[in-house]
Every structure is written in structure tokens, then in C-alpha cells.
């Protein structure tokens, strides 16, 4: 377990560096991440690399036993690079050029810049790839195209887009068929006729939109790969990673994470009213490699660019840290060591204020770091073993985002409905993609699986066949892989597996909900969103609609498949529905459950040779009393704890279960 900080020595006079290193040491900071925006200092002039200053900082830190994660600086091309390559600046969807001076001001397909990134990564790898002090690498920073996720629309990208399509479809005939260009006279007779979906043309062909998203994502994945390939031959015993963004969905994180050794993300929970938000980000990151991960950046102060959030309440930094560890983080680095006096992020506070004096937040970090150090021996090597997972492809997210279909549908809202229900009973879940080893789970929930490939369907069917439970929610099975709606009876390729048919559907607003009734208990729940009206074709009815002209029509069904079960949930519903439904599922597949926990209290578990460790966090500002169903050693204090546990506001307890 490591506690760390994101550090920008280039922002401070060199005579401050020793003080920082000393203060870090005293706070228990064991690792710093550096250099991810420092291209201008690492290569002040083309071809003249200057690594001496970074060596000097590292040397000071080494004296205090501080290790290092190095960032490759590709997120911030320098002014001299932009002057050299005016066409490096990306083109936005509105046709204007993204300016220098923010960041991510690069077209990911610019050959010259890709080569510069390759040379930089190679040079850094040569210099530090065998350093014992360096534990790993962060490539770039929060990949996602231009600033907040828009891909580049420059002529180079559009040219390569056409080539990409040609590679994927081979002939225009195939593309025309796959996209359904018969609609509105879109049939192409030359590849050069195909455009990119620029604004304000929001209602371009949905298949074109989806392919453009895939193409844009591929560009970033390739851009990252150039640096992975450059570093790989040099690094020894160091990980290569990048800082992801949890529920961010502009990029295919499955593809992005594939060449990395470990996943990591940036966690800013001050915006998250509910524990499920950071929890879901952790579950995504953990699910990508199905193992423990890092938090490269975690909130440690009030934040904002031009306007700020409030400051973390006493105990919140500590609680967020333990929440991260409880979800499987093996290292947590705080963003940032010290608030910067200048630049866009003047208001993005860190552990220290602008004045550099240790204050309340510094003391809280020191407390957490001490606790973590004390428990490291016990927790090192333990991990979260989730028995359940949420399954998706990024294509699902993209299709829903472009065409929500009904009132504000998002993949993550549906995922969070289940996430909250899992948390209520202390059941861990990963968020996984098709590459994952599904054999680890007993329960798979596929929220709004609107677009599917045949091999996905086959993998999910096999999972059920072998005894697992699969849950699909509304709109599942709607589309084939090129984003065309199925001509089979809905739910399309899932018809056989689910044993149901969907002759019709209704759109119901969340503020004017309908109702569903559970068949066995008679309990009623508000239901809304995309409501599939189900007809059974082999399946049994679990719940029925209890309102509207379709009162009595099946809303939730279950089908036996081999040794397992496949559910279809036709509507979204209020939280109580998921609580009851999940209790039923967990019971069927024999997942251990805790007595219901209050909202925003989490009981997390890491396991290993040393046993079971329960990390209990209170995400709320109110005291809570809960039942963790076991007793054990109180690792953050004395004596034993449980089964009843009292938690103070933002409180944390760590219990080693007997």
C-alpha cells in the first residue's frame, strides 16, 4: 500500500524542493507522480533533452525514501512544437481550431508529434527505465481527445477515417448496406464522399456516428501504443499505465487498458453526492484488468478552475482514501501536493495551500498515511474478489449516448441502480467488458445491452448454461454491430436465451412513473424509462406492469438456460425494486449478503492469505449504526468490533474478520 502525491517541481523554485521532500516524508508520502506536463522543461529546444533537473528532485526525494511515478508529457505539446507544426492543433467539431495554451492540443494522428512522443518516451525510458526509485509510468494524462473528449476533425483525420472505413468494410457496397445509406439518399459511390459527423449536424446516420466514435477511440489507443512500445524495452520491474477517468466513456477503455500492466484512475469525489459514484469508478478500473489498481489523483482540497467547490470536510479525505483502498486501490496519490500560484488551476487546491505551510488537510493526510502504513503488512497482497459484475461494451454506451431513445437514458444511471443495490447488501461487483474472464462471477448484469455481437451473445449464453445468472435490462438486443436495428422479433439475438418477446414498448417519464408489481410478493414499485412490454415464450413471469393499458403484461421474466437463469427486466424502477430483485438473485446464486445497509455506507472486503479485511466507510455527514454480520479485530484501534458497528460522520473502521 502506498500513499502519494502529484508533484510539480517545475512550478517551484529549486530551493523549495528540499522542504517539500522533507514535508512529504513527514506526512508519510511514499511516492510522487511527476513530469506529466513538463515537456518544455524536458526538451526546451528540439532535440535538446534536459533531464538533470528531474534527476536532482528525484535525488532529494530518494534521501527521504520517496519513490516516483513518471508521466510522459505528451498531453502538453510545447509552444515550439505548435510553431513548428501548425497542423498539430486539432480541429473541433464546429470546424474551429483548438488553441494552444489549454492542453490536449494535439491531433493524435499527427505523424511528427507521434514521432516526437516516441523519442521522448524512448529517452525517458533509457534514463529511468531501470531506476529502482521509479515504480512505474503514466502515459499522457487523462486520454480523451481534445480537452473534454471531442475527437479531432482535421483533414488528416478525415482522410484516415475514410481509410479506416475501407479497411473495415472493403467495398462501398458493404458499407452502404451496413449503414443503411438507402435512407435519405446517402448511398456513397466514392470513399471521398464520406464526411465526419461535425456539428451542428447532430442527426447524421447513426451507423456513421458509431463508426466515427470507434475510429476516434482507435486513434487515441494507437497514440498511446507508440509510447508503450517506446518504453517497454527499457523498463525493468516498473509498470506502464495511464490515468483513466472512471465512468468516462468517450474512449474504449477496454482497448486502451489492454497493453497496460495495471489500471489506474483519477478520483474527485467532491462532486459525487452518493458513494455509488466513486464506487462505480473504482469498479470500472478494477474490472479492466480484473485486479487491484492505482488512484493516480485523488481529491485533497477544494477544486475548480474558475469557480471552486467547498473544501473537504474534516474526515472526508481519510474516508475517500479508505474507500479507494476498500475497492481495491493499492496506491492512492493526492492531487496535488500544493496549490499552484499561477495558471489555469490556481484554484485547484491540494494538500498544502499556496503558501506551502502544513495545515488541516496536511495533518489529515499524515493521519491516513500512518494508518495505511500500519495496516500495509496485513493488506498488502489482498484484493477485492467480486462475485458479480456489470457487463458492457463501450459501443453500448456510445449508441445510448447518441440515441438515448427515451428521456435521458444513460448506461451509467442504469448501472448505478444496480450498483446501489449491490452496495446495500455488501456485494462487490466489477464492471467488465467482453475480454474479461467471466468464469469468476456468478451473476452478470447487462444494463441496456442495446448493441451486441453474436460472440457476445454466445459468451453470455455459455455463462448461463454453466450455472450463472444473466440479467438484461430494457432495450437489450435491439441492434446489430453496425448499429442497425434487428429485423428479428425483439429482443433479437437474445430471444432464445431470454425466452421472451417484445412486441411493443412505451416511454415513461421518471417524474410521471408507471408501476410494476412483483408476482410473488405483490409489492408495487414505480417504474419508468424505456418500458419493454414482454410476452413469454418459455420464460416465467417475475413481475407485471400495474398501470396503463398494458396492466397485467409481463415486465420482468426469467428463463432457465442449462444450469443457470436469464432474466429480462423490461423497465427501470425505483431503488426499492433493485433491492428486492437483487436479494432474490443473490439468494438464487448463493452470494453472501449483509443485512441491508443504509444508503451511502459501504462494507468493502479485501481478501488474501492473511484473511478477510472489512473496510467500512460512512460516506455521509451523519453518524450511522450498522450490522456487519461478523466480529473481528479492530485494526484502526483497540479490541474487537462487530457485528454492530457505530460510525461517526465520514467515519472509517477496518476489521479483520475472524
Active site (catalytic) residues: 142, 297
For residue 150, state whether it binds Zn ion (rule: CB under 5 A).
no
- Among 66, 124, 157, 502, indicate the residue that binds Zn ion (CB under 5 A): 157
Cα–Cα distance list, 592 to 15, 428, 596, 604 (Å): 56, 10, 12, 13
Number of residues that this document lists for the chain = 658
If the CB atoms of residues 334 and 545 are measured against ligand GAL, the closer one turns out to be 334
Cell numbers given for 461: 449464453
If the CB atoms of residues 155 and 343 are measured against ligand GAL, the closer one turns out to be 343
If the CB atoms of residues 72 and 141 are measured against ligand GAL, the closer one turns out to be 141
| Closest CB 306 distance from ligand GAL, rounded Å | 11
Cα–Cα distance list, 307 to 302, 338, 622 (Å): 10, 18, 27
- CA 251-494-212 angle, to 5 degrees, is 25
| Three-class SS state of 162 | helix
| Closest CB 190 distance from Zn ion, rounded Å | 22
| Closest CB 8 distance from ligand GAL, rounded Å | 9
Q: Which does 143 bind (CB under 5 to 8 A by kind): ligand GAL, Zn ion, none?
A: none
Interface with Zn ion by CB under 5 A: which range of 13-21, 144-152, 230-238, 305-313?
144-152
Q: Which does 535 bind (CB under 5 to 8 A by kind): Zn ion, ligand GAL, none?
A: none
How far, in Å, CA of 24 to CA of 369, rounded? 11
If the CB atoms of residues 41 and 156 are measured against Zn ion, the closer one turns out to be 156
Interface with Zn ion by CB under 5 A: which range of 139-147, 149-157, 341-349, 594-602?
149-157
If the CB atoms of residues 98 and 137 are measured against Zn ion, the closer one turns out to be 98
Q: Is residue 656 within 8 Å of 611, Cβ to Cβ? A: yes
How far, in Å, CA of 322 to CA of 275, rounded? 12
- Among 5, 82, 152, 500, indicate the residue that binds Zn ion (CB under 5 A): 152
Q: Which does 154 bind (CB under 5 to 8 A by kind): Zn ion, ligand GAL, none?
A: Zn ion
If the CB atoms of residues 299 and 469 are measured against ligand GAL, the closer one turns out to be 299
Q: Is residue 346 within 8 Å of 340, Cβ to Cβ? A: yes
By DSSP bridging, strand 293-299 and strand 264-267 are parallel
Report the DSSP beta bridge partners of residue 625: 646
By DSSP bridging, strand 554-561 and strand 611-618 are unpaired
Q: Which does 297 bind (CB under 5 to 8 A by kind): ligand GAL, Zn ion, none?
A: ligand GAL
| Closest CB 37 distance from ligand GAL, rounded Å | 7
Cell numbers given for 298: 485523488
| Closest CB 255 distance from ligand GAL, rounded Å | 20
Q: Which does 107 bind (CB under 5 to 8 A by kind): ligand GAL, Zn ion, none?
A: Zn ion
If the CB atoms of residues 150 and 471 are measured against ligand GAL, the closer one turns out to be 150
- DSSP character string of 53-72: HHHHHHHHHHHTT-EEEEEP
Task: Give residues in contact with ligand GAL (CB under 6 A).
Answer: 141-142, 266, 297, 335, 345, 348
| Closest CB 471 distance from ligand GAL, rounded Å | 33
| Closest CB 384 distance from ligand GAL, rounded Å | 24
**Which residues inside 102-131 make contact with Zn ion, applying CB under 5 A?**
107
Map 385-454 to HEC letters.
CCCEEEECCHHHHHHHHHCCCCCCCCHHHHHHHHHHHHHHCCCCEEEECCCCCHHHCCEEEECCCCECCH
- List, in order, residues 6 or more apart from 439 with CB less than 8 Å away: none
| Closest CB 195 distance from Zn ion, rounded Å | 14
If the CB atoms of residues 105 and 318 are measured against Zn ion, the closer one turns out to be 105
| Closest CB 283 distance from ligand GAL, rounded Å | 19
Largest Cα separation within the chain, whole Å, is 77
Q: Which does 348 bind (CB under 5 to 8 A by kind): ligand GAL, Zn ion, none?
A: ligand GAL
Site size with Zn ion, rule: CB under 5 A: 5
If the CB atoms of residues 354 and 496 are measured against ligand GAL, the closer one turns out to be 354
Cell numbers given for 230: 517506446
- Among 57, 117, 146, 154, indicate the residue that binds Zn ion (CB under 5 A): 154
Cell numbers given for 202: 447532430
How far, in Å, CA of 636 to CA of 576, rounded? 34
Q: Which does 345 bind (CB under 5 to 8 A by kind): ligand GAL, Zn ion, none?
A: ligand GAL
φ, ψ at 619 (rounded to 5°): -75, -10
Burial 596-623 (b: 16+ CB within 10 A, else e): ebeebbbbbbbeeeeebbbbbbbbbeee
Torsion angle (degrees, nearest 10) of CA 169, 170, 173, 175? 20
Interface with Zn ion by CB under 5 A: which range of 99-107, 200-208, 359-367, 611-619?
99-107
By DSSP bridging, strand 2-6 and strand 329-335 are parallel
Q: Which does 335 bind (CB under 5 to 8 A by kind): ligand GAL, Zn ion, none?
A: ligand GAL
Q: Which does 142 bind (CB under 5 to 8 A by kind): Zn ion, ligand GAL, none?
A: ligand GAL
Cell numbers given for 315: 474526515
- Chain residues in the site for Zn ion (CB under 5 A): 107, 152, 154, 156-157
Amino acid at each position: 500500500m502506498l500513499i502519494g502525491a502529484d508533484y510539480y517541481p517545475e512550478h517551484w523554485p529549486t530551493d523549495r524542493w528540499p522542504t517539500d521532500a522533507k514535508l512529504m516524508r513527514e506526512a508519510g508520502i511514499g511516492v510522487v507522480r511527476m513530469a506529466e506536463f513538463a515537456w518544455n522543461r524536458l526538451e526546451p529546444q528540439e532535440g535538446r533533452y534536459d533531464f538533470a533537473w528531474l534527476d536532482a528532485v528525484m535525488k532529494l526525494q530518494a534521501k527521504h525514501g520517496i519513490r516516483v511515478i513518471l508521466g510522459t508529457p505528451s498531453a502538453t505539446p510545447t509552444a515550439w512544437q505548435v510553431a513548428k507544426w501548425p497542423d498539430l492543433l486539432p480541429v473541433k467539431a464546429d470546424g474551429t481550431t483548438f488553441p494552444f495554451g489549454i492542453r490536449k492540443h494535439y491531433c493524435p494522428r499527427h505523424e511528427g508529434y507521434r514521432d516526437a512522443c516516441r523519442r521522448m518516451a524512448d529517452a525517458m525510458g533509457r534514463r529511468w527505465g531501470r531506476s529502482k526509485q521509479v515504480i512505474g509510468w503514466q502515459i499522457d494524462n487523462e486520454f480523451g481527445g481534445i480537452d473534454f473528449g471531442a475527437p479531432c476533425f482535421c483533414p488528416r483525420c478525415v482522410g484516415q477515417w475514410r481509410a479506416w472505413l475501407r479497411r473495415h468494410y472493403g467495398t462501398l457496397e458493404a458499407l452502404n448496406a451496413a449503414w443503411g445509406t438507402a435512407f435519405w439518399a446517402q448511398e456513397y459511390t466514392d470513399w471521398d464522399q464520406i464526411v465526419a459527423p461535425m456539428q451542428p449536424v447532430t442527426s447524421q446516420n447513426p451507423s456513421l456516428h458509431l463508426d466515427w466514435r470507434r475510429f476516434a477511440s482507435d486513434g487515441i489507443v494507437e497514440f498511446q501504443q507508440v509510447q508503450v512500445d517506446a518504453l517497454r524495452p527499457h523498463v525493468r520491474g516498473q509498470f506502464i499505465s495511464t490515468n483513466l477517468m472512471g465512468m468516462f466513456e468517450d474512449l474504449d477503455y477496454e482497448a486502451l487498458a489492454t497493453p497496460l500492466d495495471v489500471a489506474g484512475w483519477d478520483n474527485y469525489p467532491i462532486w459525487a453526492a452518493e458513494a455509488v459514484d466513486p464506487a462505480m469508478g473504482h469498479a470500472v478500473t478494477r474490472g479492466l484488468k480484473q485486479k487491484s489498481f492505482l488512484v493516480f489523483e485523488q481529491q485533497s482540497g477544494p477544486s475548480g478552475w474558475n469557480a471552486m467547490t467547498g473544501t473537504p470536510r474534516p474526515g472526508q479525505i481519510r474516508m475517500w482514501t479508505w474507500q479507494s483502498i476498500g475497492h481495491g486501490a493499492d496506491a492512492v496519490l493526492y492531487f496535488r501536493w500544493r496549490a499552484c500560484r499561477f495558471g489555469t488551476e490556481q484554484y485547484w487546491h491540494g494538500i498544502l495551500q499556496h503558501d506551502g505551510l502544513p495545515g488541516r488537510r496536511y495533518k489529515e493526510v499524515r493521519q491516513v498515511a500512518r494508518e495505511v502504513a500500519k495496516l500495509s503488512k496485513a493488506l498488502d497482497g489482498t484484493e477485492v474478489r467480486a462475485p458479480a459484475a456489470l457487463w458492457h461494451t463501450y459501443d453500448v454506451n456510445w449508441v445510448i449516448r447518441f440515441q438515448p431513445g427515451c428521456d435521458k437514458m444513460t448506461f451509467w444511471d442504469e448501472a448505478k441502480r444496480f450498483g446501489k443495490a449491490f452496495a446495500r447488501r455488501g456485494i462487490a461487483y466489477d464492471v467488465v467488458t467482453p475480454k474479461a474472464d467471466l468464469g469468476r462471477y456468478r451473476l452478470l448484469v447487462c444494463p441496456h445491452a442495446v448493441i451486441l455481437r453474436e460472440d457476445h451473445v454466445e459468451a453470455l449464453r455459455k455463462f448461463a448454461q454453466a450455472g450463472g445468472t444473466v440479467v438484461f435490462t430494457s432495450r437489450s438486443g435491439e441492434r446489430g454491430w453496425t448499429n442497425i436495428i434487428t429485423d428479428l422479433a425483439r429482443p433479437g439475438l437474445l430471444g432464445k436465451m431470454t425466452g421472451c418477446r417484445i412486441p411493443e414498448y412505451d416511454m415513461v417519464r421518471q417524474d410521471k412513473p408507471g408501476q410494476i408489481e412483483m408476482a410473488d410478493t405483490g409489492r408495487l414499485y414505480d417504474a419508468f424509462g424505456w418500458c419493454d412490454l414482454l410476452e413469454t415464450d418459455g420464460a416465467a413471469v417475475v413481475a407485471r406492469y400495474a398501470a396503463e393499458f398494458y396492466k397485467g403484461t409481463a415486465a420482468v421474466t426469467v428463463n432457465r438456460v442449462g444450469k443457470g437463469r436469464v432474466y429480462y427486466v423490461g423497465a427501470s424502477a425505483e431503488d426499492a425494486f433493485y433491492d428486492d430483485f437483487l436479494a432474490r438473485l443473490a439468494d438464487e446464486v448463493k452470494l453472501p449478503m449483509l443485512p441491508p445497509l443504509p444508503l451511502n455506507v459501504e462494507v468493502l472486503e479485501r481478501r488474501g492469505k492473511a484473511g478477510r479485511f472489512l473496510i467500512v466507510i460512512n460516506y455521509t455527514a451523519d453518524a450511522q449504526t450498522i450490522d456487519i454480520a461478523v466480529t473481528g479485530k479492530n485494526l484502526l484501534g483497540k479490541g474487537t468490533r462487530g457485528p454492530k458497528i457505530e460510525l461517526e460522520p465520514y467515519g472509517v473502521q477496518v476489521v479483520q474478520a475472524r
